[in-house]
Amino acid sequence: MTAIRARVATWLLLTVAVVSSTGCASWALSTGGPLDRAADHTTSQIQTMRLVTTAGCRSPAPRPMLETVLTDSRSVLRETAGDVEREPLSNPRRDPLLTLIDRARRLLDEEFAAVRAGDCAQLRRIESDLTALVDRIEHWEGE
């Protein structure tokens, strides 16, 4: 019975991650200006990445599925960075947001490696870094 519960929990977790990675789970995506929407997209991907850190520490971890979710997040973060880069250089909020998106992309690369290696300790550290990054984005949004 425990194995069934673990599989159901993993399936639900991955379903939420996939929905989040498509942007469907963020109701705020259609509000605000382009930079605010980019921040929302980034936060959504970070939340997805946090779910992957949790699923990556389960035994057995569904690594191929997790890698697929991370690949989707990588694509969204790349597109989001491109959207922000097209904003005017004169916008004082542009470069700080790009820095935050770049940090998310670096953490995603680290997470990919940790998922492939099955390194739960590294995944927990990454989850902590992702939580801190969400706080930094929320601070950016408040500026």
The answer to whether residue 12 scores a pLDDT higher than 70 is no
3 state SS of 60: coil
Query: How is the chain split into domains, by residue range?
Result: 34-139
Written as one letter, the residue type at 102 is: D
Of 137, 72, 74, the C-alpha closest to 106 is 74
Q: Where are the alpha helices (DSSP H) in 2-93?
A: 2-21, 34-56, 63-85
Q: Is the model more confident about 27 or about 2?
A: 2
The model's pLDDT over 94-108, given as tens digits with 9 standing for 90+, comes to: 999 999 999 999 999
The model's pLDDT over 14-72, given as tens digits with 9 standing for 90+, comes to: 565 555 544 444 444 456 899 999 999 999 999 999 999 999 999 888 999 999 999 99
Give Cα 77 distance to the centre of its chain: 8
Q: pTM (2 decimals)?
A: 0.81
